[in-house]
């Protein structure tokens, strides 16, 4: 039998043991990320190279036999694939199956975003899982993900809340992140917005910093899904601006060219993602049903049979083929550090009160990733606003202000994200426009309101006898009110004064013609004031 140690000796040995353990085991820094990591608004590889997602979703959980899709998606130059998985709401993907997916991603040199689809529409759709249940699933397959932090991203739960009880998103998401880290996951985490991913109530936007702070590794990226809610350039830009202003990382985790809830503006989604260095993942490779078969990129998983949507996202302007750069982790395809040559001096023609046509000598790119396009800026002090983007060496600028001098320059960009120097500037002045019989009026109608805000639809009417080419509406916000979002107009704010200018497509009004724009306001709780008066000017 073993002899029992005396209390003093036992205590001494325990102290020595604890000292040895504390000497030998050095805890990792609280904020140390492993593999893919967040740096400000950007995603970085472990070696410090920036990585921008250009990819598509693949509905693996329903089509587990379609493993050739990984090679086919790669052959069309995607650098990312988002893989649909399930823990039981649909055919379950166990650890062995996920390990095979991981192997396919590595073999085909693809960054792999693994997403749990079980949470889709929780609170609104019967059978949906909670984010907490999603974490249980990730825990069950953790063995398949060990050591994959350089090329695997964990998308905790797809569209985790529908349109009911959306306020619970913040606590549910922070809890899920905390649990994932507690389980030992070192991967970059991706979290989807509520409102079926579209965040039209801005819950994710307004609480993103709180969620980011919940991750001890500061390695969480936010994902918005852009469908019918994002059918105008103004809405898209306003949402992307909010995250860039906040300094938080955002990707467009899903989008399409059409949808049952409206017609997304895929051209702006893609061009803005490229010009801002934001990742995008289109939905989806093949196998759609339920009336959205038009979102298939290829027919019956046949890579040689691209649909019109497939042609658009892979081969169109700002598409995957032109802008995708392979992750350097895989040892190739991502070494282009050569910027395109500087474009020539832009030349202005066709100047009107609200637009101008610019052309310039084209740039060339010798780095290997290919010339992706051009961005046109207005030189205006410390911050030069982007006036437009194009894939050719010409552009038709719209939405300009009448009787205003513009000094503009052009920058080229390649598929690896390298940017040229600024071209020489050119200066032009828009015409005064308008004429006899000009004038406009503006009215606003509150469409919906709640304790902390309201939504207003405004109508601009050409009250004169001559056509107009542009309009400007000004209004004053009540004290404590702030703009939360807008559509069909470009809004700028100075103090409590808001100026709304027409978008590029709704400034031309015939006599008696109308245009609409809208905005959402945030106001102090209990305050019932709304915007009541508007001033309109046209040209």
List CB contacts of 304: < 8 A, sequence separation 6 or more: none
**Burial environment of residue 366 by CB neighbours within 10 A (0 to 12, 13 to 18, 19 or more):** exposed
Q: In what order do the strands lie in the sheet with 356-359?
A: 347-349, 356-359, 394-397
Cβ(215)–Cβ(189) under 8 Å? Answer: yes
Among the listed residues 111, 108, 245, the one whose alpha carbon sits nearest the alpha carbon of residue 188: 111
| Catalytic residue check, 254 | yes
* Measured distance between the N- and C-terminal CA atoms of the chain, rounded to whole angstroms: 101
- pLDDT tens-digit map of 268-312: 999 999 989 999 999 999 999 989 999 999 999 998 899 999 999
- pLDDT tens-digit map of 187-215: 999 999 999 999 999 999 999 999 999 99
- Reduced to 3 states, what is the DSSP secondary structure of residue 375? strand
Rounded average pLDDT over 391-413 = 86
| Catalytic residue check, 235 | no
Distance CA 87, CA 397 (A): 49
DSSP string, 13-59: HHHHHHHHHHHH--PPPTT---SSEEETTEEE-TTS-EE--EEEEE-
Instruction: Determine what percent of the chain is predicted with pLDDT higher than 90.
Output: 60
Instruction: Report the number of secondary-structure helices (H) and strands (E) in the chain.
Output: 10, 28
Token couple for 514:
């109308």
Q: In what order do the strands lie in the sheet with 471-476?
A: 489-494, 497-502, 471-476, 535-538
Distance CA 52, CA 277 (A): 7
Distance CA 173, CA 207 (A): 10
Distance CA 134, CA 116 (A): 7
List CB contacts of 383: < 8 A, sequence separation 6 or more: none
Distance CA 347, CA 426 (A): 7
Q: Are strands 482-487 and 514-522 parallel, antiparallel or unpaired?
A: antiparallel
List CB contacts of 179: < 8 A, sequence separation 6 or more: 132, 135
Q: How many CA atoms lie within 13 A of 351 on its CB side?
A: 15
**Which residue do the tokens 């939905």 mark?**
283
Distance CA 146, CA 125 (A): 33
Q: Is the pLDDT of residue 438 over 60?
A: no
- Reduced to 3 states, what is the DSSP secondary structure of residue 428? strand
State pTM to two decimals. 0.62
Token couple for 59:
């509905």
Distance CA 399, CA 502 (A): 6
- pLDDT tens-digit map of 212-248: 999 999 999 999 999 999 999 999 999 999 999 999 9
- Reduced to 3 states, what is the DSSP secondary structure of residue 102? helix
Helices 203-213, 169-182: inter-axial angle, 10-degree rounding? 30
Which one of the listed residues 159, 235, 266, 326 is annotated catalytic? 159
**Which residue do the tokens 């949808």 mark?**
259
Q: Determine the pLDDT at residue 322.
A: 87
Check whether the bond before 284 is cis (ω within 30° of 0): yes
Distance CA 177, CA 498 (A): 38
pLDDT band at 133 (very low <50, low <70, confident <90, very high): very high
Bridge partners (DSSP) of residue 57 are 82
Token couple for 35:
């593999």
Distance CA 43, CA 250 (A): 9
Which one of the listed residues 115, 149, 235, 254 is annotated catalytic? 254
Rounded average pLDDT over 472-498 = 88
Among the listed residues 153, 467, 137, the one whose alpha carbon sits nearest the alpha carbon of residue 129: 137
Distance CA 360, CA 362 (A): 6
Instruction: Determine what percent of the chain is predicted with pLDDT higher than 70.
Output: 90
Mean residue pLDDT of the chain comes to 87
Q: Is the pLDDT of residue 11 over 70?
A: no
- Reduced to 3 states, what is the DSSP secondary structure of residue 454? strand
């Amino acid at each position: 039998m073993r002899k029992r140690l005396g209390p003093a000796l036992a205590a001494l040995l325990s102290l020595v043991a604890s000292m040895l353990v504390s000497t030998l085991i050095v805890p990792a820094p609280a904020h140390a990320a492993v593999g893919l990591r967040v740096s400000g608004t950007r995603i970085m590889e472990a070696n410090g190279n920036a990585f921008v997602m250009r990819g598509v979703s693949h509905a693996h959980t329903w089509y587990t036999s379609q493993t050739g899709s990984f090679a086919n998606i790669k052959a069309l130059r995607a650098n990312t694939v988002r893989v649909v998985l399930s823990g039981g709401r649909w055919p379950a993907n166990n650890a062995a199956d996920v390990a095979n997916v991981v192997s396919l991603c590595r073999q085909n040199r693809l960054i792999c975003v693994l997403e749990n689809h079980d949470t889709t529409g929780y609170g609104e759709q019967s059978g949906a899982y909670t984010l907490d249940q999603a974490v249980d699933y990730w825990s069950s397959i953790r063995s398949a993900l060990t050591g994959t932090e350089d090329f695997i991203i964990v998308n905790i739960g797809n569209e985790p809340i529908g349109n009911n009880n959306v306020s619970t998103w913040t606590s549910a998401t922070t809890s899920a992140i905390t649990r994932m880290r507690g389980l030992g996951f070192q991967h970059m985490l991706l979290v989807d917005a509520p409102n079926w991913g579209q965040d039209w109530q801005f819950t994710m936007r307004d609480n993103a910093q709180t969620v980011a702070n919940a991750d001890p590794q500061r390695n969480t990226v936010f994902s918005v899904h852009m469908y019918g809610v994002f059918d105008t350039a103004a809405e898209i830009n306003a949402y992307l601006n909010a995250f860039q202003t906040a300094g938080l990382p955002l990707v467009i985790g899903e989008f399409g060219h059409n949808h049952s809830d409206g017609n997304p503006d895929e051209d702006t989604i893609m061009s803005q993602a490229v010009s801002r260095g934001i990742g995008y993942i289109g939905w989806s490779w093949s196998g759609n049903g339920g009336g959205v078969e038009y979102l298939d990129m290829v027919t019956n998983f046949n890579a040689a049979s691209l649909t019109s949507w497939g042609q658009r996202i892979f081969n169109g302007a700002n598409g995957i083929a032109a802008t995708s750069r392979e992750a350097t982790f895989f040892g190739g395809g991502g070494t282009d550090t050569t910027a395109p040559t500087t474009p020539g001096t832009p030349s202005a023609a066709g100047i009107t009160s609200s637009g101008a046509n610019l052309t310039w000598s084209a740039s060339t790119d010798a780095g290997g990733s290919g010339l992706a396009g051009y961005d046109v800026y207005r030189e205006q002090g410390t911050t030069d606003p982007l006036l437009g983007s194009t894939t050719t060496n010409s552009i038709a600028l719209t939405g300009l202000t009448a009787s205003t001098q513009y000094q503009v320059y052009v920058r080229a960009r390649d598929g690896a994200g390298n940017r040229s120097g600024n071209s020489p500037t050119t200066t032009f002045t828009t015409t005064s426009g308008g004429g006899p019989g000009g004038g406009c009026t503006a009215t606003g109608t509150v469409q919906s309101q709640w304790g902390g805000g309201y939504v207003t639809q405004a109508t601009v009417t050409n009250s004169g006898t001559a056509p107009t080419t542009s309009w400007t509406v000004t209004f004053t916000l009540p004290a404590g009110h702030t703009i939360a979002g807008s559509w069909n107009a470009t809004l700028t704010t100075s103090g409590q004064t808001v100026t709304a200018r027409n978008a590029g497509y709704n400034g031309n009004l015939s006599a008696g013609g109308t245009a609409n724009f809208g905005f959402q306001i945030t106001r102090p709780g209990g305050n019932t004031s709304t915007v009541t008066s508007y001033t309109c000017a046209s040209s």
